[in-house]
Amino acid sequence: MSKIIVFGASGQLGQCLQHVAKEKGITDIVFLPEEQANILKPEVLQAAFAEHQPAYCINCAAYTAVDKAEDEVELARQINRDGVANLSKLCGEFGTTLIQISTDFVFAGTGNEPLTETDEAEPISVYGLTKLEGEQVISEYTEQFFILRTSWLYSEYANNFVKTMLKYGRERDEMKVIWDQVGTPTYAIDLADCILTITETQNQQYGIYHYSNEGLTSWYDFAKAIFELSNTTVRTLPIRTAEYPTKATRPAYSVMDKSKAKTQLGVSIPHWRDSLEVCISRLEA
């Protein structure tokens, strides 16, 4: 019998959860293989819940291809809404607490004040809309849930902005990076630690929370910090969003207020640059 089951275990955050669980010595956690973890197959999920009788279900499974989602609306909705509904139903039936990962993309990003959990969600992309629909469907089936909205995830694992910049920085003489989108990078190891803190403390202050690292930056300044901390020499030029058109519109300002997470979840949150330094040193090691 396991206390925690993790869906989407092969993705970036799933791999970070495996890393942190090992560091913390957490053994009553199961990272389900893909054939046991397809959140679009209720019968598969039912079998997993029946076998493991989990106290916690951590859902890292998501459709995250932001631009492709504009063309694959139904697939994005199936994974980000219907899959979450499937898990929520079972959590309600089994008395399991759901920990669902969401995104800053549920906001329009047109303001200039840090976003709180009570600010109105106004997604401006299919990805953001389907993630919000996933948030909204949970309470139809269970009251025992934590929704953690995060932003700009990176780590040593999987594909992400930091690893892409390090790769391009070695290959190119010049990089152009957007400067007029502002948010906060989040080291996925820190997010994983927050998630497992919820399970360790058996926190019951259910609801929506914001979790990213502290501080704020633009993609341009984030890239500059990556190059600086990794001693990568590459000419880096700031460009506007309009100069780099994409299918999906991104929030221009998605800095989130983490006060609620710090007080109610009892977590301390590192500054983004401190965590970036840790990640880069681990990648170089």
Q: What is the pTM of this model?
A: 0.97
Give the pLDDT band (50/70/90) at residue 1: very low
175 inside domain: no
Helix (H, G, I), strand (E, B) or coil at 107: coil
CB-CB neighbours of 217 under 10 Å: 22
Q: Is residue 56 part of a domain?
A: yes
Residue 92 structural domain:
4-159+185-213+256-269
* Cβ–Cβ under 8 Å, residues 102 and 147: yes
pLDDT of residue 2: 66
pLDDT digits (tens, 9 = 90+) for 124-183: 999 999 999 999 999 999 999 999 999 999 999 999 999 999 999 999 999 999 999 999
Report the DSSP pairing between strands 153-154 and 97-103.
unpaired
pLDDT digit string (tens) for 6-25?
Answer: 999 999 999 999 999 999 99
Please tell me what DSSP assigns to residue 36: G
Does some domain include residue 67? Answer: yes
Write the CATH number for 31. 3.40.50.720
pLDDT value at 123 more than 90: yes
Q: What span, in angstroms and rounded, lies between the C-alpha atoms of 274 and 268?
A: 13
3-state helix, strand, coil in the chain (%, to 5): 45, 20, 40
Q: Considering 56, 63, 127, 154, which one is annotated as catalytic? A: 127
In a domain, 173, yes or no: no
What integer is the mean pLDDT of 26-32? 95
d(CA 114, CA 256) in angstroms, rounded, equals 5
Q: For residue 218, what pLDDT is reported?
A: 98
Residue carrying the six token digits 């993609």: 219
Distance between CA atoms of 153 and 149, rounded to whole angstroms? 11
Is 219 inside any structural domain?
Answer: no
Counting the structural domains of the chain, the total is 1
CB 63 within 8 A of CB 80: yes
Cα–Cα distance, 140 to 163 (Å, whole number): 39
φ/ψ (deg, to 5) at 165:
-65, -40
Give the residue among 98, 68, 94, 69 at the shortest CA–CA distance from 83. 98
The neighbouring-strand residues paired with 175 are: 236
- Whether 154 sits among the annotated catalytic residues: the reply is no
Alpha helices (H) along the chain = 12-24, 42-52, 73-77, 83-94, 126-138, 161-171, 188-201, 219-229, 259-264, 272-284
Mean pLDDT of the chain: 97
* Residue 233 maps to a domain: no
114, part of any domain: yes
Nearest-angstrom CA–CA distance, 109 and 104: 9
**Can you tell me the mean pLDDT for 176-202?**
97
Q: Please indicate, yes or no, if residue 275 is contained in any of the structural domains.
A: no
Which DSSP state fits 96? P
